[in-house]
Amino acid sequence: MTEKHSPKQKQKNTQTDLYKIVLYNDNIHTFDFVIDMLMRYCDHTLYQAEQCAMLTHYKGKSVVKKGTYDKLLPIASTLLEKGLSVDIE
């Protein structure tokens, strides 16, 4: 009789593995506000921020920043403080 093993889940390393900040659509904030926040805190160009805002609006969410967890955490925290709905995945 063979023994079944559950697959091991890989633990991510917060200092080396890549994560992403996901921005979720809401009906509260204006495009200008979201664009300003993305330019200010995610270092987006105007074009990048506009594209992310449009994707978020039409698809419900979009990835706005990639990096290590340690680098993304303060950015995501600031965006949350500003009232945007974001998550780190």
Enumerate the domain spans of the chain: 27-88
Closest by CA to 64, choosing from 18, 21, 30, is 21
Model pLDDT for residues 32-65, shown as the tens digit of each residue: 999 999 999 999 999 999 999 999 999 999 999 9
Beta bridge partner(s), residue 49: none
CATH class name, domain 27-88: alpha beta
The average pLDDT across 11-16 equals 64
**What was the pLDDT predicted at 16?**
74
Which helix (H) or strand (E) element contains residue 81?
Answer: helix 69-81
Beta bridge partner(s), residue 62: 23
In the 8-state DSSP scheme, what is residue 83?
Answer: T
Beta strands in the chain (DSSP E): 18-24, 61-68, 85-88
The pTM of the full predicted model, rounded to 2 decimals, is: 0.81
Report residue 14 CA to chain centroid gap.
15
Confidence of residue 14 (pLDDT cuts 50, 70, 90): low
The average pLDDT across 2-20 equals 58
